Structure 1
Amino acid sequence: MLLNWFETAPRRVLALISAACVAMLAFGMYLQYGVGLEPCPMCIVQRYALIGVALFTGLGSLRGGRGWGLGWGVLALLAAGFGAFVAARQSWLQWNPPEIATCGRDFYGMVENYPLSRAIPMIFRGSGDCTAIDWTFLGGSIANWSFIAFVLMALALLALFVRQRTAR
């Protein structure tokens, strides 16, 4: 029954994914400004991936054309995959912290002061900030829950594509 929804209402599925992303972004803003947690460079990259998924799925839900939603859905799938990769890397760093934890520069400091060819490896190397677990829910850190959310979004998008292909 749930899989039939992917076939009969693909625009609603895309809109639901977009709304979930907006809710997650709002929760992230609450954690930052309400609770006082400072995001690490990898958290910022995950936010941008979440914004990408929200934007692409939102645009895909606006039009009724099959190609329109599929194109934006593919971009959303790529953004979700990238977000899952970054969240998995951060989770791995949290479980296996480096021997020497250095508190590196913040995300914007890296991008402003270094060329991208040097800043991007610095972001994914992770700093002491990226290995810290400041908030948990049911035993999982923010990075763990972000990974699960990105994987669920990617699976929903893949199910949407598969059901749309078999409906033809």
Structure 2
Amino acid sequence: MGKVIYGLLSLAAVGTGAFIAGRHVWLQGLPADEVPSCGPGLDYMMDILPMQDVVAMVLTGSGECANIDFSLLGLSLPAWTLIGFAILAIAPLRMLLMKSRG
């Protein structure tokens, strides 16, 4: 039972990271005229807003999120992060599949 709980919690954490990275990749792929407007900086928001509001504002995206500041082999850092989360998902998925077989 512990392996199932650990596998599900791990998968939830990896899924959250993959969702955020995927959203960032999506923002970077938008045409310039469709990118959401820029908001205040993260440090400023964390100083004045409750954490729940900060997370909501970060997930709605802002204009500077669409800038590609770094790329490696033609992929942006959020794209590489998304690939990393996909690789990390293998371990909890394997754990859950082995538990369901055994």
Q: CA RMSD in A?
A: 2.2
Instruction: Give the Cα–Cα distance (whole angstroms) in 2 for the partners of residues 89 and 133 of structure 1.
Output: 14
Per the normalisation by structure 1, the TM-score is 0.52
**SS of the residue 2:89 aligns to:** helix
Per the normalisation by structure 2, the TM-score is 0.80
**SS of the residue 2:15 aligns to:** helix
CA contact (8 A) 2:36 2:61 kept: no
C-alpha distance after superposition, 1:61-82 (max 9, x if no partner): xxxxx62x43233211101000
Between the aligned residues of both structures, percent identity stands at: 35
Q: Does 1:91 align with 2:20?
A: no
C-alpha distance after superposition, 1:64-118 (max 9, x if no partner): xx62x43233211101000000000000000005636644323232232123453
Q: Does 1:79 align with 2:13?
A: yes
Instruction: Give the Cα–Cα distance (whole angstroms) in 1 for the partners of residues 12 and 32 of structure 2.
Output: 29
Higher helix share: 1
Q: Among 43, 51, 55, which residue is 1:120 paired with? A: 55
Q: Among 90, 93, 96, which residue is 1:155 paired with? A: 90
Aligned length: 101
Instruction: Give the Cα–Cα distance (whole angstroms) in 2 for the partners of residues 98 and 151 of structure 1.
Output: 28
The answer for unaligned runs of 5 or more in structure 2 is: none
